[in-house]
């Protein structure tokens, strides 16, 4: 006999409830298993917020291995130098460049001629890196007041601002070396120093390394001997141009662009992709004195060729021309060019290299020390992916003309190199010091990551040696 219609209805209800119960129980068991395995997957059945709090695994310490302790140095090593900025340099007043946390005067909206973005551009001095870095580190997310937790210890000595007072004017070596010697004497007395004898310490200097490697006690010799002091040799030293020493590392010169938000970086990259470039190549610079033989010759050849070619745009930086210190003029020239020539000057490296990358202009190098053996944390190992190399001897001995060499670069390679340097832009800029970028790493972030990695490698090596000995 057939079941009554009502009984059939209750049978269906029981089936639905039973199936639902089994399904819910399966989900709960699965959720418990996943959470126990630390996968962090939570199924939100009823109260979403309560379930999330109940089942999410506890977050790990995001600063583990990244803590930095900053010494509170006597003010004569940093703040007093800023207060005396009018007398720092014999040639220019450094005070305007120390404004805005070391970024310098903000570029006015009226003067940018739509070349720059409305915000985030400053007339930044190429030697202000140590001030910018220190002010940015003050807002670093993993600072600690407990030095025992620190993976690295920062020494905020403005060595570049200190040395520039004495580079010209006949100061004897005892005056020049007074602050460096006083600093390392103080460091050696600190309990933090004795933990690894300074091997977990680092400092940033805003000038090229050779300004701090005076090898003689001759008053006519250049610079201080900061980097040659035994204590300094134990530390890691970051500068805008390093030497061959294993404790020296080069990081980018500061450019004019200091964004506060990710979207400003993306907006600038988009602008550089679309800008028209009517010139094949350009050069912003001036001749060098004859005593710097190779730099003098290569620059003279570059200037001659640029002046004689309709494909080249020359920005003359001779005395009396201030355009080369103007962010608008420099950026405008580089934006209009496919390639930007970067020969050595007073030293192998140039701030202009990073100005050209910022403008989406492919740098052309004439010496491997200008970039390929520098900035190993920030630039690709494969130099040909973002630049062109022409040996300076080939130009000096007239074995090649720059115009012909660059005009023969296939269009596909040009496009690939430009894509790469526009991708590199975040890596070679320093953000506004009090801001943080969320989805991109800037030059500061990469430098901090590099120094933490180096110190950790040293620490592991020391531990392994001690373990082996014991």
pLDDT tens column, 388-418: 999 999 999 999 999 999 999 999 999 999 9
**pLDDT at position 111, please?**
67
Same-domain status, 88 and 129? yes
Q: 128 in a domain, yes or no? A: yes
Average pLDDT, stretch 175-187? 97
Residues 140 and 18 in one domain: no
Range of the domain at 209: 68-254+444-469
User: Are 299 and 331 members of one domain?
Assistant: yes
Main-chain phi, psi angles of 364, to 5 degrees:
-115, 120
Four-point Cα dihedral 210, 375, 131, 172, nearest 10: 0
| Contact assessment for residue 287 and residue 296, using Cβ atoms and an 8 Å cutoff | yes
Bridge-based pairing of strands 362-365 and 337-342 is parallel
Residues 12 and 51 reside in one and the same domain: yes
Q: In CATH, what number is assigned to the domain containing residue 363? A: 3.40.50.2000
How many domains are there within the chain? Answer: 3
Give dist(CA 431, CA 254) in Å, integer.
Answer: 10
Establish how many alpha carbons lie within 13 A of residue 35's alpha carbon, considering only the half-sphere containing its beta carbon. 17
CA angle 358, 361, 367 (to 5 degrees): 100
Domain-embedded: residue 299 = yes
DSSP 8-class letter at 36: H
pLDDT by residue (tens digit) across 72-94? 999 999 999 999 999 898 888 99
Confidence of residue 470 (pLDDT cuts 50, 70, 90): very low
Domain co-membership, 92 together with 211: yes
**Three-class secondary structure assignment of 268-317:** HHHHHHHCCCCEEEEEEECCCCCCCHHHHHHHHHHHHHHHHCCCEEEEEC
* CB 358 within 8 Å of CB 425: yes
Mapped onto helix, strand or coil, the DSSP state of residue 402 is helix
34, 55, 76 - which closes a domain = 55
Residue 131 lies in a domain: yes
CA atoms within 13 A on the CB side of 32: 6
Q: Is the CB of residue 87 less than 8 Å from the CB of residue 293?
A: no
- b/e code 54-89 from CB counts within 10 Å (16+ = b): ebeeeeeeeeeebbbbbbebeeebbeebbeebeebb
Dist. CA 326–CA 256, nearest whole Å = 10
Residues in the chain: 470
Residues 79 and 216 reside in one and the same domain: yes
Task: State the Cα–Cα distance between residues 352 and 349, nearest whole angstrom.
Answer: 9
Same-domain check for residues 24 and 170: no
Instruction: Give one DSSP letter per residue of 373-393, joined into a string.
Output: TS-TTTS-S-GGGT-EE--HH
- How far is C-alpha 188 from the chain's CA centre? 29
Report yes or no on 437 lying in a domain. Answer: no
Q: How confident is the model at residue 119 (pLDDT cuts 50, 70, 90)?
A: confident
Whether 61 is covered by a domain: the verdict is no
Q: Does one domain contain both 51 and 90?
A: no
**Mean pLDDT score across all residues of the chain:** 88
Q: Which residue has the tokens 């670093």?
A: 140
Distance CA 222, CA 23 (A): 80
Sheet holding 388-389, edge to edge: 312-316, 279-285, 337-342, 362-365, 388-389
- Residue bearing tokens 């025992």: 148
Which has the closest alpha carbon to 334: 129, 128, 121, 116?
116
For residue 439, is it within any domain?
A: no
For 132, phi then psi, to 5°, come to -60, -45
Instruction: Decide if 296 is inside a domain.
Output: yes
Mean pLDDT over 303-311 rounds to 95
- Tokens linked to 370: 């200008």
Q: How confident is the model at residue 17 (pLDDT cuts 50, 70, 90)?
A: low
Find how far residue 120's CA is from the centre of its chain: 16
**Are 276 and 243 members of one domain?**
no
Least reliable range by pLDDT among 220-234, 313-327, 370-384, 416-430: 313-327
| Three-state DSSP state, 363 | strand
**Lookup: tokens for 89:** 């340099």
pLDDT confidence of 317, banded at 50, 70, 90? confident
Same domain, 166 and 187: yes
Question: In this structure, are 143 and 228 located in the same domain?
Answer: yes
pLDDT at 206 over 90: yes
CA-derived radius of gyration, the chain:
29
Let me know: does 287 contact 300? Beta carbons within 8 Å: yes
Beta-carbon contacts of 469 under 8 Å, excluding residues fewer than 6 positions away, are none
Residue 325 and residue 177 share a domain: no
């Amino acid at each position: 006999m057939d079941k009554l219609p009502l009984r059939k209805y209750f049978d269906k209800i029981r089936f639905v409830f039973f199936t639902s119960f089994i399904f819910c129980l399966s989900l709960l068991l699965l959720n418990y298993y996943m959470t126990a395995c630390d996968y962090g997957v939570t199924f939100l059945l009823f109260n979403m917020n309560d379930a999330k709090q109940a089942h999410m695994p506890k977050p790990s310490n995001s600063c583990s291995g990244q803590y930095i302790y900053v010494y509170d140095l006597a003010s004569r090593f940093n703040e007093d130098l800023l207060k005396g900025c009018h007398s720092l340099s014999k040639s220019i007043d450094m005070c305007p460049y120390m404004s805005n946390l070391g970024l310098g005067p903000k570029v006015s909206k009226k003067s940018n001629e739509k070349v720059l973005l409305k915000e985030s551009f400053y007339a930044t001095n190429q030697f202000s890196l140590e001030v910018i870095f220190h002010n940015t580190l003050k807002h670093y997310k993993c600072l600690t007041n407990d030095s025992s937790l620190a993976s690295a210890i920062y020494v905020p000595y403005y060595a570049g601002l200190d040395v520039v007072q004495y580079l010209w004017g006949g100061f004897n070596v005892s005056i020049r070396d007074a602050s460096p010697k006083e600093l390392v004497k103080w460091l050696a007395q600190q309990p933090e120093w004795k933990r690894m004898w300074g091997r977990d310490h680092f400092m940033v200097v805003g000038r090229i390394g050779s300004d701090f490697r005076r090898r003689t006690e001759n008053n006519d010799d250049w610079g201080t001997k900061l980097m040659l002091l035994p204590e300094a040799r134990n530390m890691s030293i970051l500068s805008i141009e390093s030497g061959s020493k294993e404790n020296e590392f080069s990081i980018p010169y500061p450019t004019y662009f200091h964004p506060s938000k990710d979207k400003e970086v993306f907006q600038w990259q988009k602008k550089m992709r679309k800008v028209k470039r009517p010139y094949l190549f350009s050069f912003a610079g001036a001749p060098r004195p004859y005593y710097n033989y190779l730099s003098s010759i290569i620059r003279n050849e570059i200037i001659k060729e640029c002046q004689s070619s309709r494909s080249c745009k020359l920005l003359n930086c001779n005395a009396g021309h201030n355009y080369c210190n103007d962010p608008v003029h420099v950026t405008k020239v580089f934006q209009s060019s496919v390639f930007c020539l970067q020969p050595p000057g007073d030293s192998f490296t140039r701030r202009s290299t990073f100005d050209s990358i910022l403008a989406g202009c492919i740098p052309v190098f004439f010496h491997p020390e200008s970039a390929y053996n520098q900035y190993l944390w920030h630039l690709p190992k494969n130099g040909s992916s973002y630049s062109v190399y022409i040996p300076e001897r080939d130009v000096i001995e007239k074995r090649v003309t720059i115009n012909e060499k660059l005009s023969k670069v296939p269009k596909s390679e040009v496009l690939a190199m430009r894509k790469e340097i526009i991708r590199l832009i975040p890596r070679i800029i320093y953000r506004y010091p009090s801001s943080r970028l969320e989805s991109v790493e800037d030059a500061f972030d990469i430098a901090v990551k590099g120094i933490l990695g180096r110190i950790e490698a040293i620490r592991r090596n020391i531990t392994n040696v001690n373990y082996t000995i014991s």
